[in-house]
Chains A and B, each alone.
Chain A
Amino acid sequence: MSTSVEPRGWAKAALHVNGWFVYMFFYAPIVLLVIYSFSNSRNVGTWGGFTLDWYRDFFDSSNARGALSNSVKIAIFSTIISVVLGTMAALSLERFTFRGKKVFDALLYLPIIIPDVTMAVMMLLFFGEFFDVLDALFGLGLRKGFWSISISHIAFNISFVSVVVRARLAGMDTDLEEAAIDLYASRWKAFRYVTFPQIVPGIAGGALLAMTLSLDDVVITQFVAGPGWTTLPVYVFGLIRKGVTPLINAVSVTMLVVSMLLVVLSIVAQRVRRSG
C-alpha cells in the first residue's frame, strides 16, 4: 500500500516523533487532571492515594448541584430555540432567493468570528438597556439570570446550528423535493416526509454542538448572569479564586466527560447519512 509520496527514512521517523509530541501536548494535562481528581490530598499535584471523596463533595454541595441544574436547564432551552431558528435560517439560505440574502448570509456567521469578550460586552450592554426598556414599558422588572443567559446562548448557537444544517442541505438534491411535489405532496408534506428526514442528522449534529457550547461557555455567561444565577463553568471559575482544590478537578472531569460524549454523538449523528 505504500506510495511514492509517503515519507521514508528519517523523515518518517521524525513524523512519528512529531505525532507523539502533539498528542502529549494535547492530552498530558487532561490525563493529569483526571488522575489528580482521584487523589486523596488537599494539595493539587501531590498524590495522596485513591479516593472518590472529591466527586462525593461535588455531588453533595448544594451550590454545585444548583449550578449544574442551571447549566442543564439553559443548555436544553437554548438548544431547542436555536435549533428551530438555525434550521429555518439554513433552509431559507439554501432553498430560497430573496433581497438581502448575501448580507443575511454574511451576518449569520458573525457570532462565530467575533471574540467572546466582545460578544459578552455587547450582550451586557444590550440587556442593561433592553430590560430597562421592558421594565419602563410593561413594568416587567426582569432581572438578569435564566433569560439573559439563554438569549445570549441562543444568539451564538443559531450560527453554529445553521452552518451544520446548511452543509447537510447543500448535499441534498433539490430533485428530491421536486419529485415529492410531482407525487402530490404539498410544500409542507414535501418538507415533512422528504426534506426533514434527509436533514435530521444535520439537525441532531447541530443540536448536540449547540448543547456543548452552551454547557461550556464561561465568558459570555459570566457577563450576563445575574446574582443567584451561576452555571457550572462559572461556578468552577469562582472556586479557583478561593484556592485550587481537587474538587475543581472532579468538576472539570465531569464536564469534560459530558462534553466529549456530546461531541462524539454529534459526529456520529452527522455520519449517519453515508450509511443510510
Chain B
Amino acid sequence: MTTRAKKTAVLAAVMTVGFGGAAMAEPDLDAKLVINDELEMTTIVEPAPYLDGALDQVISGWHFRDAATRAMEMDDFENPAMNFVEDGLAAWDAVDGTEGKSCASCHGAIEEGMRGVRAVMPKYNEEAGDLWSLEEYINDCRVNRMGAEAWNWDKTPMKVMTAAIGVQSRGMPVNVAIDGPARPYWEQGKEMFYARTGLLQMSCASCHEENYGNYIRADHLSQGHLNGFPTLRLKKGSLVSTHNRLFGCVRDTRAESYPKGSAELKALELYVASRGNGLSVETPAVRP
C-alpha cells in the first residue's frame, strides 16, 4: 500500500470512530529494532498495572517513525547522535575543575561505572532527600567532587554527557522506581500528565494517550516515552534533552511552561518514564 493509500485507510477508520475516538494502530509494529545487528531491543511491552489500562500496549516511539529514520538508529555508523556520544566519552576522561579530577577518576571506565544508571533515572536520592534526574547527579559530581562549574541542563556539554552515560544502558529495560519516597513525585507527575494546560487546553494525554498513531499535520504522534533521550532530532541536527522536550510540549499548549530542571518537570519526567518501564533504553534515539 502506498503511504497515501495507508493514510486514507487510517482516515476512513478515524472517521468511523469520530471525535475523541481510540487511537489508530498505524505504526509499523512488525518492525524489529536490532542495533548493529546484535543488540535486540524490546520496543513493545505490556503496560504496567499502575497505568490502569490507559495504553493497550507500550510502544517505543521508534515504531512511529518512517523506515529511513528507523534504520538510522539501527547502525551506530548511521546514527548521527553517536558523534555526540564520542564527545561525551572524551569529556568523561577529561580533567576539569580545581580538584584535578575527571569523571573517570572516581567512576573508572564509563562502560562499567555507568551501566544501568540511565535505566533508573530519575531516582529518589536519599542523601539529598529529593528526586534527582541524571543531570543532577552529574552536576553534583562536578561541583562537589571536581570543583568544576555546573553545566546547564540544555547545553551541549550536559547533553553529550547524558548521551554517553545513557548509551551504557542501551538495551536494558527502563526501570524507574515509583514507590516509597518516589511516590509523591510520581503522583505529582501523573496529575501534570493529565492537566489540560494553556490556551489550547491540552494535556500530555491529549496527544500521547488519546491520539498516538494519529497525525498533527505531518507529525506522527507517539506515546511520548523517554527511553530514547537525549534524542537526536534530525530537523535540529542536535541532541534534545528530556527537559527540553517536556518544556516544549507544555509550551506548545500556549501555557506558561515549567523551567528545565524544575521540581515540576522532574516529577513529570518520573511519571512519563514510568509509563515506559520495560522498554529498552534506546539512548541515543533518532527522531525526525
Q: Do chains A and B stick together as partners?
A: no
Q: Which residues of A contact B (CB under 8 A)?
A: none
